[in-house]
Structure 1
Amino acid sequence: MHYDAKGNELRFDHLTGHALGRCAFMGYRAPAQTVPRPAFMESWSLQPSAELDDGAREIRVDLGLRGFVTGLWMAPSGTLYAVDFDGRLYVQRPDGAARSWETQDWGRLVELHGIAGLAEDCAFVWGRDANQPRMWELFEGRFVNMTAPPSRLTCVAGAHAQCVYAAGPAGYLARWDGAEWHRIAIRSMRPATALHVVDEDEIWLTTDMGKLFEGSRHGWGLRAEMEVPLCGVRRWRGELFVAAKDHGLWKLDGRSSRFAPVDLMLPAIGFAGDEDTLLVLTEDYLAVTHDGVEFEVVAREALAQLRGYEPPLWSDE
């Protein structure tokens, strides 16, 4: 993370999209060394352009709200969805007037904890309502109630609407088949930090205690582990990359149960991209690669450049 002129923390999270010009991630500002509280946080959407202008890359920074945006998802069309802890959904349409954000308030008892999308017309939001787990699915352009798993969730991913996985604390993992949830037993009592579904027969899950689980429709097992927390996983061009934050970027060594370092100086926290581009997010910048070896650094401390000398949105200054 980095800091503004007053010593507040600035950091990035929640990367989504496909390539430069078609991706976004969240930037946050909050008082340093405190437990995040929505009333004392700023949340901004950052979208780097694909082209350089006089050697510089434009970074569009918007949304800009006082609160905690807990999830971000960019649909294939470029429509961007965000959800916040206080029960609001935000939508930015690529053909909208001045790229403005629409806001929907889902109620004062609702907390929204995340959003994940599989296709233009297939997305899921999860959270709580009156302290009960809740989940919503995109149906004909709006989110409607669906059966929720009986656990708080930390991540959701899937291959299609009848193959969706949800994971949470204490080793919770379940699969949605389009009609009901099926609990899956794995040898972990720790929170899941990331899910990546390649297809019905290749699913990956990481935990905060460094475990990497591999799953399919036929079963699950522990594939590999490190002695540091893992926070992201992505299959790209036949190789499996894992994010270990301050301990760098790693990949699975072929079909073995060993990890091999890719870049120990790249503090990766999450992934996005397409077949041609791997996007790797850190808390301070976005790294872009087309070969898995050389990385271009984009948007380094971009939020500090825009907001670093401005008073926080929670301040009376």
Structure 2
Amino acid sequence: MPLGHAFRKVRGPSIEDCHLLADRWDGKGWVEDHAESWVVQVSAGRMFTLKSQVGWLTGLWCSPSGRVYVSQGSGSLGGGIHVSPGEDPSAPQWAFHELPLLAVGVWGLDDRFVLAWGPRVDKREDGMFRWDGRAWHPIPCPGQVISVHGLAPDLVYAVGRKGLIARWDGSRWHPVPSYTQASLSGIHVASQDEMYACGGNGVMEGSIYGWSEVVESPGQVLEVTKYKGDTLVAGASSGLLRLKGNRLEPLEPSLPVTSMDSRERLVVATPEELADSLDGKSFRRKPLSQFVDLTRDIPTMW
């Protein structure tokens, strides 16, 4: 049976300069013992493999300095954060920071404020750790976190299961009423007065003063971001969507987006391709076949 391949997450300013998580499996369905997670870098338009392993690499974040953080939450390998300076894609260097949790995500402001979260392996509770540039320190966890975003050490929001929305004020998490029990998978903080969260139920809008539901989605939505004044939503099977007033309108139906970045160009990942745009209308595309060709002669690890 042919191997299965897919892109999963992308972070970076363009599809010519980015990092991504990709998967390769036995073609029968993603099972941890018969599948690999890959960290891939595109530099000057050329694709490089940086790291691969059997098991689950769950999250990806690239700091403003270019350092790369990848979360690991594998039942067989344990949990923690892989860190790379991200300087030379032809000779990648990695350090693994083991943590007592199956890390399901990682995000930060800079290399002195990085958060990792997931189920603790030493306690029957969800955990969160903060990297301060020298060491990881446990901090309280507001619940089953899925995604985190913010603008400053005292303006960070987390969303997650059972409608979780919480604000970090620099020293502790404060739960925020969200008026939903649906899982929230995406959060984007544009300012104190403009924030968005999304999940299976649709898109919510908020501020430091509170949250309200804006619109129900036509299907599952995974991430939300702001780009050049537009609020864009990763609609998976519904394509790339744009929030206009109290409705979601198709922006690019041919892109079943699962992951987005908006630091320079709008950069998106679908299972089958990467794409970017300067205007949200005309897209450059990089097909999955480039990853397939890159790994074709590399033996599977299971």
Q: TM-score, normalised by structure 2?
A: 0.91
**For the Cα contact (< 8 Å) 1:29–1:43, is it kept in 2?**
yes
Q: Is 1:272 paired with 2:266?
A: no
After alignment, is 115-124 or 216-225 more displaced?
115-124
Aligned residues: percent identity? Answer: 26
Q: What residue identity is the alignment partner of 1:18?
A: P
2-side partners of 1:202 and 1:168: how far apart? 19
Question: How many residues are treated as equivalent by the alignment?
Answer: 295
Q: Per the alignment, in what secondary structure is the counterpart of residue 87 of structure 1?
A: strand
Q: What residue identity is the alignment partner of 1:278?
A: L
**For the Cα contact (< 8 Å) 1:248–1:268, is it kept in 2?**
yes
One of 117, 121, 124 as aligned partner of 1:126: 117
Gapped regions of structure 2 (runs ≥ 5):
none
2-side partners of 1:140 and 1:77: how far apart? 12
Q: Is 1:27 paired with 2:16?
A: no
Q: CA deviation at 1:310?
A: 4.5
Map residues 218-257 of structure 1 onto 2, 5 A cutoff.
Answer: 218-253=209-244, 256-257=245-246
Q: Is 1:157 paired with 2:149?
A: yes
Paired position in structure 1 for 2:7: 12
2-side partners of 1:297 and 1:177: how far apart? 39
Deviations 1:134-177 (A, max 9, x none): 1011213332211222x221111111111111111111111111
Q: Per the alignment, in what secondary structure is the counterpart of residue 162 of structure 2?
A: coil
Q: Is 1:306 paired with 2:294?
A: yes
**Cα RMSD between the aligned structures?**
1.9
Q: What residue identity is the alignment partner of 1:226?
A: S
Residues 33 and 186 (structure 1), Cα distance of their counterparts in 2 relative to 1, 3 Å cut:
farther
One of 155, 161, 166 as aligned partner of 2:158: 166
Gapped regions of structure 1 (runs ≥ 5):
1-5, 51-56
Q: CA deviation at 1:105?
A: 2.6
Paired position in structure 2 for 1:201: 193
One of 294, 306, 314 as aligned partner of 2:282: 294
Q: TM-score, normalised by structure 1?
A: 0.87
2-side partners of 1:99 and 1:61: how far apart? 9
Q: What residue identity is the alignment partner of 1:239?
A: D
1-side partners of 2:140 and 2:230: how far apart? 35
Q: What residue identity is the alignment partner of 2:33?
A: A
Q: What residue identity is the alignment partner of 1:187?
A: Y
**For the Cα contact (< 8 Å) 1:241–1:251, is it kept in 2?**
yes
**For the Cα contact (< 8 Å) 1:59–1:299, is it kept in 2?**
no
Q: CA deviation at 1:106?
A: 2.7
